[in-house]
């Protein structure tokens, strides 16, 4: 019995010593190092993901192909949607909050995920929010464009038809307020020469009302006017 007792005491002393050292490490710098954090609710559903990148969650709809097909692909042409979806980016560095059904609700951080309806033209740094079914309804952030590395600063709100209201500082120096409906678009601001939104051959400062086919129904350029 004594022979077993001595090794047991040695092992216990080593374990206790190790734990004491780890606690002291935490107390001295006051920093906790970890690869990621998953916070669950009272029913055990994973609801908050924190990490760089977000850790994988078994409850997240976005990363479960069967759930994606069930909830989203059925709203579109199913096989075509799933073909697009395989190339979407779902990650991010920061914090992701999901609702009780596993849909992304709020994303905060850098290099954030694509919406579930298409790929972004860059990776945003900022804040994004979605509705109860995981469809994007708005965001605030700085977007570095893939095509040229330039920056676009946008505050945007979406409705069930898509992009609805935006305030933006664009990569070419243009500054705009944009409101969109199903059949028309209203633009107010300054468009640099050849800007893709104002679609003007020269610099433009004023207001434009466009029809569904992108024609100017009303346009007033304030440059040169007293």
Question: Count of CB atoms within 10 A of residue 92's CB?
Answer: 24
Could you read off the pLDDT of 151-202 as tens digits, one per residue? Answer: 999 999 999 888 999 999 999 999 999 999 988 999 999 999 999 999 888 9
Sheet bearing 46-51, strands edge to edge? 36-40, 46-51, 93-98, 104-110, 122-130, 136-145, 151-159, 162-169, 175-180, 184-191, 204-211, 216-221
2 pLDDT band, cuts 50/70/90, is very low
User: With 70 as the cut, is the pLDDT of residue 7 above it?
Assistant: no
pLDDT value at residue 219? 85
1 and 56 housed in the same domain: no
CB-CB contact of 61 with 68 (8 Å): yes
Residues 112 and 134 in one domain: yes
In a domain, 50, yes or no: yes
Structural domain that includes position 18: 1-33
Residue 192, classed as helix, strand or coil, is: coil
Question: What is d(CA 143, CA 123) in angstroms, rounded to the nearest whole number?
Answer: 6
Q: Is the pLDDT of residue 215 over 80?
A: no
Is 148 contained in some domain? yes
**pLDDT (tens digit, 9 = 90+) per residue, 102-159?**
999 999 999 999 999 999 999 899 999 999 999 999 999 999 999 999 999 999 999 9
Given a cut of 70, whether residue 90 has pLDDT beyond it is yes
Residue 23 maps to a domain: yes
Same domain, 20 and 60: no
* Judgement on whether residues 5 and 65 belong to the same structural domain of the protein: no
| Residue where a domain stops, chosen among 126, 147, 171 | 171
In order of 31, 98, 125, 130, the CA distances from 37 in angstroms are 15, 14, 20, 22
Number of domains comprising the chain: 2
């Amino acid at each position: 019995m004594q022979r077993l007792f001595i090794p047991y005491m040695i092992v216990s002393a080593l374990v206790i010593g190790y734990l004491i050292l780890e606690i002291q490490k935490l107390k001295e710098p006051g920093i906790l190092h970890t690869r990621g954090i998953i916070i669950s609710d009272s029913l055990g559903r994973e609801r908050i993901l924190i990490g760089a990148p977000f850790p994988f969650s078994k409850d997240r709809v976005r990363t479960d192909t069967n759930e994606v097909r069930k909830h989203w692909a059925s709203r579109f042409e199913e096989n075509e949607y799933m073909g697009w979806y395989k190339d979407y980016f779902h990650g991010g560095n920061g914090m992701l909050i999901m609702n009780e059904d596993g849909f992304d609700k709020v994303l905060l951080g850098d290099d954030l995920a694509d919406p579930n309806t298409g790929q972004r033209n860059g990776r945003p740094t900022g804040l994004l929010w979605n509705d109860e079914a995981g469809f994007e309804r708005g965001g605030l952030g700085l977007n570095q464009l893939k095509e040229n590395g330039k920056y676009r600063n946008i505050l945007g709100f979406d409705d069930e038809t898509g992009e609805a209201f935006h305030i933006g500082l664009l990569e070419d120096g243009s500054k705009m307020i944009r409101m969109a409906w199903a059949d028309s678009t209203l633009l107010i601001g300054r468009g640099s020469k050849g800007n893709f939104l104002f679609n003007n051959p020269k610099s433009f400062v004023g207001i434009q009302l466009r029809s569904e086919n992108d024609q100017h129904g009303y346009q007033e350029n304030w440059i040169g006017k007293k």
